[in-house]
Amino acid sequence: MDLNEQIQKCHKCLLSETRINALCGEGNPNAKFMLIAQAPGEKEDREGKMFIGPSGKVLDELLTAVNINRKEIYMTNLVKCMLPKYRKPKQDEIEICGKYLDEEIDLINPEVLIPLGYYAIRYIFEKHDLPLPPKPEFHTVYGMVFLAGDKKILPLRHPAVILYNNYLREEMTKNYHKMKVLLKDCK
Ligand code: SF4
């Protein structure tokens, strides 16, 4: 069974009982960038596709603003099934489902990992033995580039943040622009 099939049929944690679809990663398998979101939203869960709901619309706006096409990236989630009522992911769910993410990273082998939001960033930092700032200073990691072995890590805020805090749009656009800078770097 290939990885996507394993994810679609997965019942390794209780989230399988409340989801409609377990979401596989999607996008360019040769991408330099891998965007790692936290978990699917309602629309994504219903239709089985990534970033098609309101946060997908904001992601497209941010990518358009920095002149990057979705075709250039690979997108996936830390937790592949929707979290009921958008609750936070539990540690055991992250540990179990994170194994799929580890496999995706090995398969796609992107040059730049872009975790979006606290849980995805914490997972990627721990995986690469990077020190995580304490919560009050956590925002300082957004838009910074970290080196870990052969990978670059660019933590960004999740696009959904703009839905509730539009005043952050300018700062986020500036940080998302680092993708464009790194794209030139990679080439
Ligand atoms: S969240 Fe991950 S581990 Fe849990 S059932 Fe879904 S795919 Fe499996």
Backbone angles phi, psi at 105, to 5 degrees: -60, -40
In the predicted model, what is the mean pLDDT of residues 126-136? 94
pLDDT score of 52 more than 90: yes
CA distance 180 to 178: 5
Q: How far apart are CA 19 and CA 10, in angstroms?
A: 11
| 3-186: CATH superfamily | Uracil-DNA glycosylase-like domain (3.40.470.10)
Q: Across residues 27-38, what is the average pLDDT?
A: 96
Choose the residue to mutate in 1, 9, 12, 20 for probing ligand 1, maximizing ligand atoms within 8 Å of C-beta. Answer: 12
Per-residue pLDDT at 1 exceeds 70: no
Residue nearest to atom 3 of ligand 1 (CA): 97
Q: How many residues does the chain have?
A: 187
CA of 32 to the centre of ligand 1 (A): 26
CA of 51 to the centre of ligand 1 (A): 18
Give the C-alpha separation, 146 to 132, whole Å.
Answer: 11
1, 3, 11: which to mutate for ligand 1, most atoms within 8 A of CB?
Answer: 11
CA dihedral sign, ordered 159, 56, 11, 16: positive
Task: Over range 99-125, report the average pLDDT.
Answer: 97
What is the enclosing helix (H) or strand (E) of 91?
A: helix 91-108
Summarize pLDDT for 176-185 with one digit per residue, the tens: 999 999 987 6
* pLDDT tens for each residue of 167-177: 999 999 999 99
Average pLDDT over residues 110-132: 97
Q: Choose the residue to mutate in 15, 19, 50 for probing ligand 1, maximizing ligand atoms within 8 Å of C-beta.
A: 15
Bridge partners (DSSP) listed for residue 73 = 33
Predicted confidence at residue 37, as pLDDT, reads 97
pTM, two decimals, is 0.95
Residues of the chain with pLDDT > 90, as a percent, come to: 95
Q: Is 39 exposed, middle or buried (0-12, 13-18, 19+ CB in 10 A)?
A: buried
18 has a pLDDT exceeding 90: yes
Give the domain ranges of the chain: 3-186
Mean of the pLDDT values across residues 147-157? 96
Query: How many angstroms does the Cα of residue 5 sit away from the middle of ligand 1?
Result: 12
Residue 4: other Cβ atoms inside 10 A: 15
